Amino acid sequence: MYLEGILMKYIEKIFDNIELAKFERDGECLYDSIRCFLLAATPEECVRQKTIVFLQKDLGIPVNRIFVEESMAHTKKGARGRADIVVYRDDECTDVLMIIECKAPHINVLGDEVFKQASGYREILNADYIMLVNGVEAVIYIYNDGEYFEVKDIPSFEKLLGAEITIAEEQAFVEYSYEELMSDEFQEAFAEHGDISEYTPKYIRGVALNLINLILHKEIKKNDVLKNIGVTEDCYVSMPHFGNSGGGNYQVWSRLFIAKDHMNKDEVLGISICGTIHTENDPHWGNRSGSTQLNISIANKESRHHSLQLNLDRYCRYNPITNIVDIVHNGSLTRGKGGAAKRADVIAYIKERAPELVHGDEIFLGCLNNSRLLEWSDPNVQSFIRNLLRYAVLRDGFRAEYKKSK
């Protein structure tokens, strides 16, 4: 008897209860029951092997209809990539029912990159469903008439075959109250999820959550707001993937806008906030204090990267009596392989093109009132967002001129 439908929220508990036998062969290994050989026990491979067990025991999928590492080139000449798991509808294994992409637990499967990978495989194999899983979260989409729809729960094999599924209702972001955002309970929950850092001082946490509520949860209702913040279009909220010069990767919810770059060309700018990890004697990162970071990402045809990663713990000047916060930056900037630029050079570049941003020897981005909810209609909020985006664009202009000079 197989489960009729498994709630997505139980997937972590189900996977935690699946025990995999470990073997030793040049390191710890797992047995792949589909391909019948040992594989290195990487975090991603552990998720894949648990997924194979889950498909059989919980969803009732026959083992002969489960294939692993299916090459796209077998179906389409010249196509690249391999699907982690492919489930076939029939015993002859000619009709693909579902493609499953497995990722390590620290990889967010709700973001654009994983979805893009799986949907690309689906297009080649003409599957009905894609499933994205990391052992902590899972999501299934059905493809119908050129669109993807999220499936509410994880259906049994029989229900997948008969398309007896319930489409998940689209979940709109819910605005939070000021009291919720300032509460210890809320701040601890957001810190546990990684949206802010547990090491960030409480008063800065409140500012960060107020900004998150504005950026991710509030609708821009008037077109003049877009003009006032210096953008041409609001692309709403998404989860793009970006890297940085230090080798980090960011995949967090972002508010995306279309605006002009330093060459007056359209590009996509994103605003996001996340907590950074606290490390001690880490081989790559060394010793780092965890903090809450405000990111401005820039995406165009040539590149996707963060132009600005602003440490709110360091650059928020908070007045606890008035709840007024000034947000500044010292002009520090890296140029990829070119290393760190001289801050004086960066500030001089900004001052020549946007003198209003330079106050003394630092960049002044804006002043916010954290005694109430931040609103898009507030002129101070508009000024801050405009300055933030302008500063990020100019930083990219500085990098481009440096690159051209080399």
How many C-beta atoms surround the C-beta of residue 209 within 10 A? 25
Q: Is the dihedral of CA 86, 92, 96, 98 positive or negative?
A: negative
pLDDT tens-digit series, residues 84-109: 999 999 888 889 999 999 999 988 88
Long-range contacts of range 220-228, CB-CB < 8 Å, 24 or more positions apart?
A: 220/376, 221/376, 222/376, 222/377, 225/376, 225/377, 225/382, 226/257, 228/379, 228/382, 228/386
R_g of the chain computed on alpha carbons: 24
Residue with tokens 């972001």: 173
- Residue 170: CB partners within 8 Å, gap ≥ 6? none
Between helices 202-217 and 184-193, what is the axis angle to 10°?
A: 70
Assign 268 to helix, strand or coil: strand
Residue with tokens 């606290």: 278
Per-residue pLDDT of the chain (406 residues; tens, 9 = 90+): 233 345 566 788 999 999 998 887 778 888 888 876 778 899 999 999 999 999 999 888 988 899 999 988 887 887 888 999 999 998 888 899 999 999 999 888 888 889 999 999 999 999 999 999 999 989 999 998 899 998 887 888 888 887 654 544 555 668 999 999 999 999 999 999 889 999 999 999 999 999 999 999 999 988 899 999 999 888 888 777 665 555 555 568 889 888 887 777 788 889 999 998 877 776 666 777 889 999 998 876 566 788 999 999 999 999 999 999 999 999 999 877 778 899 999 999 999 999 999 999 999 999 999 999 999 999 999 999 999 999 999 999 999 888 777 6
CA–CA distances in Å: residue 169 to residues 118, 147, 205, 282, 328: 22, 15, 31, 42, 41
333 token code pair = 């900037």
274 token code pair = 């996340």
pLDDT tens-digit series, residues 173-206: 689 999 999 999 999 999 998 899 999 999 999 9
How many C-beta atoms surround the C-beta of residue 344 within 10 A? 10
| Amino acid, single-letter form, for residue 194 | G
Set out the domains of the chain in order of their start, with CATH numbers.
Answer: 5-162 (3.90.1570.30), 178-405 (no CATH)
Per-residue confidence (pLDDT) for residue 100, from 0 to 100: 96
Task: Answer whether 158's CB lies under 8 Å from 60's CB.
Answer: yes
Strand ranges for 285-389 from DSSP E: 286-288, 292-299, 304-311, 316-319, 324-329, 358-359, 362-369
Our CA dihedral for 381, 387, 388, 394, rounded to 10 degrees, sits at 170
| Amino acid, single-letter form, for residue 101 | E
- Residue 74: CB partners within 8 Å, gap ≥ 6? none
Residue with tokens 């980090």: 248
Residue with tokens 């003198």: 355
pTM: 0.67
Task: Answer whether 125's CB lies under 8 Å from 109's CB.
Answer: no
Task: Answer whether 102's CB lies under 8 Å from 134's CB.
Answer: yes
Q: How far apart are CA 110 and CA 138, in angstroms?
A: 8
How many C-beta atoms surround the C-beta of residue 273 within 10 A? 23
Determine the length of the chain: 406
Strand ranges for 290-338 from DSSP E: 292-299, 304-311, 316-319, 324-329
